[in-house]
């Protein structure tokens, strides 16, 4: 299968690298020149829980060079979805199906609208990975990848993609309730990601801190109210327990929002907490804790983007400081 991976960040490199090791697959990574040049020169360096090895894989910074493909997998940040879609329009026009492995809400509908196709599959993943250098990815934890489609008629496509991901070594589950899966992952992210980004703590450290655990519970309970108001059937009966279980199971993970803040990059807070808040406002639901951490993340994000320096010394909030900032709610 000819597979194009749009986005050479940690998730894109991890999925692309493992998929490329299946003999019949021809995989091309599309990313920024820094990573592409390193991969072309040294191969894709893979480390961590999927074993240390170097993968010989195609890479390009220009997706227009790719004339045809059997599958495009978009792993970009949610705010880059529109640009990614435009850059592979020629492939979608040729009938190539698209799979999205991203955080946030609404990207399936966005892709379908922009490209005029229903051949869109959506996935969430609990796999942990971090870029540890140009063209070098370290997998920090294995986890479940759930996949499905918001559009009817894609059952065979979901099964086919599930199969190739499973052969590549991922733990995969096909779902006929992808809306519930995406909302469940978003609720987990509402609880864990901003708290990690504000405090600089890994998931396990948040889980073991009683004050932060209480904050995570409040954030999750609020976000779950929005899903309930929309009559979304979550993939868990207890989103609080599920979130805390995820934190414990991924204790060594530095989640993606913390990685972005550390790297002085834009976060995905708008597609996660921000989108839940937008829907909540339309429904007349008040989410004071999510409103507060959203404002704190946007302020921290702006400050670190302004510095452009991961070693700038901009401090994290201590757990006590964070709880004090929210104490009046």
Tokens of 52: 């240390």
- Nearest-angstrom CA–CA distance, 222 and 202: 22
Pairing of strands 2-6, 120-125: unpaired
Cβ neighbours for 189, distance < 8 A, ≥ 6 positions apart: 103, 255, 257, 272, 273
Verify whether residue 185 is a known catalytic residue. yes
Chain length of the chain: 329
Instruction: Taking each helix axis as running N to C, give the angle between helix 178-199 and helix 239-249, from 0 to 180 degrees, rounded to the nearest 10.
Output: 60
Which residue has 């599930």 as its token pair? Answer: 162
78, 104 contact by CB (below 8 A): yes
Q: Which of 47, 58, 77, 185 is catalytic?
A: 185
Inter-CA distances, 33 with 30, 38, 223, Å: 9, 8, 38
122, 103 contact by CB (below 8 A): no
| Cα 265-268-270 angle, rounded to 5 deg | 125
Active site residues: 185
């Amino acid at each position: 299968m000819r597979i194009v991976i749009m986005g050479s960040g940690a998730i894109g490199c991890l999925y692309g690298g493992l998929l490329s090791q299946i003999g019949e697959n021809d995989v091309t990574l599309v990313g920024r020149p820094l990573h592409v040049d390193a991969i072309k020169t040294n191969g894709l360096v893979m480390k961590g829980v999927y074993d240390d090895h170097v993968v010989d894989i195609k890479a390009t910074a220009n997706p227009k060079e790719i004339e045809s493909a059997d599958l495009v997998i978009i792993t970009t940040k949610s705010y880059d979805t529109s640009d990614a879609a435009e850059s592979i329009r020629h492939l979608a026009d040729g009938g190539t199906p698209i799979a999205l492995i991203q955080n946030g809400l609404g990207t399936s509908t966005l892709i379908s609208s922009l490209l005029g196709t229903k051949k869109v599959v959506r996935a969430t993943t609990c796999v942990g990975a971090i870029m540890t250098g140009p063209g070098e990815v370290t997998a920090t934890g294995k986890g479940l990848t759930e996949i499905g489609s918001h559009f009817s008629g894609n059952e065979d496509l979901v099964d086919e993609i599930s199969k190739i991901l499973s052969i590549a070594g991922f733990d995969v589950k096909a779902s006929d309730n992808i809306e519930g899966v995406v909302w469940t992952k978003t609720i987990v992210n509402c609880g864990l990601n901003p708290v990690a980004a504000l405090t600089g703590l890994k998931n396990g450290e948040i889980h073991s801190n009683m004050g932060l655990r209480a904050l995570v519970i409040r954030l999750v309970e609020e976000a779950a109210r929005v899903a309930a108001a929309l009559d979304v059937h979550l993939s868990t009966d207890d989103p609080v327990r599920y979130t805390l279980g995820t934190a414990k199971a991924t204790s060594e993970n530095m989640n993606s929002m913390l990685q972005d803040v550390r790297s002085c990059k834009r976060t995905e807070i708008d597609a996660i907490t921000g989108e839940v808040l937008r829907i909540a406002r339309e429904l007349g639901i008040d989410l004071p804790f999510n409103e507060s951490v959203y404002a704190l993340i946007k302020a921290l994000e702006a400050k670190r983007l302004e510095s452009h320096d991961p070693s700038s010394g901009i401090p994290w909030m201590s757990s006590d400081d964070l709880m004090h900032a929210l104490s009046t709610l």
